[in-house]
Structure 1
Amino acid sequence: MAEFADLVGSFGPWGWFIAGLLLLVAELVLPGVFLMWVGIAALILGVFSLILWPYPFWGWQLQAVLFAVFSVVSILVGRKLLSRRETASDQPFLNQRTASLVGRSAVLREPITDGRGRIHIDDTSWIVEGPDLPAGTHVKIVSADGRNLRVEAFQN
């Protein structure tokens, strides 16, 4: 433990700035938005270290505790800021094509027998499930589960 205290002491207050900048650079290399907040906590602690370094109570133990506290606070603040920025997508079903079909109507290409039939929407033929209905019946898609579409007879 004495070696760690000597290492921290050798860098002086600039050690926190170095650690903060290294964490910010690591954020550029690694995916995610986590190291940035920890790096910001290290930079904040660097500012405190510049002011408090000469005082005897400013040991590595207090700095480690404050670093943990500042990290947690900056992560919580960062999550709050990023959650505010999320906007509603103009294409909420972009990667959920079957979910985007719910509510649409179509004509049965093949009759539904034994609970399964086929419709054609846009450029794709879909297997559908529902009550037995003859080909040519107008149906409405009422739900989607994975690639399964559930339909019922369209009521005007």
Structure 2
Amino acid sequence: MIQRIVTELGPWAWWVLGIVLLILEVLLPGVFLVWIGIAAIITGALSLLLWGEAFWVWQVQWLGFAVLSLVAAVLGRRIVSRSDTASDQPYLNQRGQSLVGRTATLEHPIAEGRGRIRLDDTMWSVQGPDLPIGTRVRVTASNGRDLTVEPA
């Protein structure tokens, strides 16, 4: 059945395969099928040019498709990884990191290395040297849920 379809469609079978792969990429996004779809479309374009040639048998077409798929995947990965631009808000989803360098007053004293400060509308657990309540501290680091402070 597949051989009959390929025989009847001729070089257009590659175009159909490429379009199906691109549609699957839209339905199941993952930025992987798009490169294989592009390789199939390029193979289809080559098939349109070389269809009557004796050497352009199905084995050569599949080999060309495999090579083009690998090349397209490697080039696509380079293009996608190069397009990562610097953000104007690098700590957007890293709230603790965005607090490094800020100063605050201790709401609860640091005893045995643990205390609490208020920054904006949030109470934060802090680690640092033992300090009394009301001491001004500067945030020096964040490990996710706790801030590390030192006297300001």
* Structure-2-length-normalised TM-score: 0.92
Q: What are the equivalent positions in structure 2 for 1:89-108 lying under 5 Å apart?
A: 89-108=87-106
State how far apart, in whole Å, the 2-side matches of 1:95 and 1:31 are: 23
Whole-Å separation in 1 of the counterparts to 2:23 and 2:5: 22
CA distance in 2: counterparts of 1:42 and 1:24, whole angstroms: 10
Partner of 1:130: 128
Give the aligned partner of residue 149 of structure 2.
151
2:29 and 2:66 mapped to 1: Cα distance? 22
Q: Per-residue deviation at 1:53?
A: 1.4
Match of 2:69 in 1: 71
Look up the equivalent residue of 1:81 and give its one-letter code: I
When structure 1 is superposed on structure 2, of 28-37 and 44-53 the one drifting more is 28-37
* Structure 1 residue 81, shift from structure 2 partner: 2.2
Indicate if the aligned counterparts of 1:5 and 1:60 stay in contact, CA closer than 8 A.
Answer: no
136-145 or 82-91, larger mean C-alpha shift: 82-91
Residues 105-155 of structure 1 deviation map (CA, whole Å, 9 limit, x = unaligned): 11111110011001000000111011101111111111111201111111x
Match in the other structure for 1:48: 46
**Cα RMSD for the two superposed structures:** 1.5
Once residues 85 and 114 of structure 1 are traced to their aligned partners in structure 2, the CA distance between those partners, rounded to angstroms, is: 47
| Alpha-carbon distance between aligned partners in 1 of 2:3 and 2:56, rounded to the nearest angstrom | 12
Name the counterpart of 1:38: 36
Return 5+ residue gaps in structure 2 as ranges: none
Bigger Cα displacement from structure 2, 14-23 vs 96-105: 96-105
Please list the CA deviations of residues 66-105 of structure 1 after superposition, one character each: whole Å capped at 9, or x if unmatched. 1111111112222222233221112111111111111111
Amino acid at match of 1:147: R
Pick which of 37-46 and 26-35 moved more: 26-35
Provide the rounded CA distance (Å) in 1 between the counterparts of 2:3 and 2:61: 11
Task: Kindly state the Cα deviation for residue 39 of structure 1 after the two structures are TM-superposed.
Answer: 0.8
Identify which range, 56-65 or 45-54, moves more after superposition: 56-65
TM-score (ref. length: structure 1): 0.90
